[in-house]
A = this chain, B = another copy of it.
């Protein structure tokens, strides 16, 4: 009999680990316990599924339990919730949600990949029909169901972060009247205010209302159905309310088992993805990530990181050796016609960490100005005031944002200096770039050495 691997959570991190273990250990017995009814699907695709851009939920699902069984001999149990971990005896208590019964499963090596949950404050009226968080496929199906069954004209989105803005686009595509409310004086809080302003402009240009510095007090309803969101300043009529104010880790199970938590209550892991208890690993939205630029642990739950951490956990569990290099804080979102990308530290973050920095901000174009359809590109780059090492970049535009953010993410990974960007031998032809890439242009106007 092979080594027994148990994995709690069958999404990105969990299934990445499971398949990686299988690659390294052909004899392994791999059991995955997933509370929901879907394994390993593209969570980041949910706004596009709700908005109708992706017509079928099936398109988002990588593999079924049957496929995992057939291809990888992985036993993935859906609708199975792990209710307790007993690290001393290496036992899990698992509840079959359909049959209502509990069973114990023994493991030799355990991965906790329980993901995160949408923050859903205890506002008055939050239980009204028509008020939704959005974190998983079930949430998406509920929203789709509600849109199909009920008359929805006005949508209020609470929270102007990635999910909030992607969902603003989704509801806009569905011809809804959309209002985005945020507590902060800006949208897109991971961007600095002047960069975030482009998102607001793009929403408003498309007829989406934006209400900033609005503290939500409650949801009002009639006959159990939401009709408005009230804030300290106003009441916003709403037939549907999406609460998108962030994600927190699902770490209670780990905490109860005595595992140490870290940043924002996420499970603390080392660079091998091991928790404080030997033989127990954690990966994905339930775990912390080391931030290469901040040089401290952070909590930035993203699918890319979940996949990386899952693979690394699986490698180490399966007898290999892999270490998580950390994140640099890269993210991108589409806001209607606009792409907004960021990597590294924002000015706010650099200030918060007391890192002395310089800023260079330029306006350029995604490719040669004379070649058709050259679009504006707004770049803001931060670098260390003393070492001149890159600290972060924010880029906004209609085309070519992803390219430069990934370029800058790679430069950040390599601790490159602002001045050295000019040394990069980047590809050039007029339809693709300028002879100096915009990030190199920014480099040349950065304050002198």
Contacts and interface: CB of A to CB of B under 8 A. Distances in A.
A246 interface: no
18 contacts: A53-B371, A59-B369, A303-B428, A304-B426, A307-B435, A308-B423, A331-B427, A332-B432, A334-B429, A402-B427, A402-B433, A405-B427, A407-B410, A409-B425, A410-B411, A410-B414, A413-B423, A413-B424
A418 interface: no
Interface of A: 12, 42, 44-45, 48, 53-54, 59-60, 162, 166, 292, 302-305, 307-308, 311, 325-334, 339, 341-343, 368-372, 402-403, 405-407, 409-411, 413-414, 416, 420, 422-433, 435-437
A437 B294 CA distance: 24
A271 to B, nearest CB: 11
A311 B429 CA distance: 20
Given A372-B53, A403-B406, A406-B403, A42 B430 contact: yes
A431 B422 CA distance: 29
B407 A427 contact: no
B413 A425 contact: yes
Q: How many copies does the complex hold?
A: 2
A309 to B, nearest CB: 12
B45 A428 contact: no
A162 B430 CA distance: 12
A307 B409 CA distance: 25
A368 B53 contact: no
Contact of A414 (B326, B414, B422, B431): B414
Contacts of A423: 308, 325, 413
A343 B402 contact: no
A406 B409 contact: no
A94 to B, nearest CB: 28
A349 to B, nearest CB: 15
Nearest to A293: B425
B45 A368 contact: yes
Contacts of A45: 368, 370-371, 430
Contacts of A327: 425
Contact of A409 (B48, B370, B426): B426
A341 B427 contact: yes
A48 B430 CA distance: 9
A403 B432 CA distance: 9
A427 B410 contact: no
A429 B371 contact: no
Given A307-B436, A432-B402, A427 B372 contact: no
Contacts of A292: 425
B371 A48 contact: yes
Contact of A303 (B12, B420, B435): B435
Contacts of A48: 370-371, 430
A283 B42 CA distance: 50
Smallest CB-CB A-B distances: 10 pairs: A332-B427, A325-B423, A403-B403, A59-B370, A402-B432, A330-B427, A328-B425, A414-B414, A405-B427, A327-B425
Contacts of A409: 424-427
Q: Which of A12, A42, A424, A437 has the most CB of B within 10 A?
A: A424
Q: Which of A48, A304, A368 has the most CB of B within 10 A?
A: A304
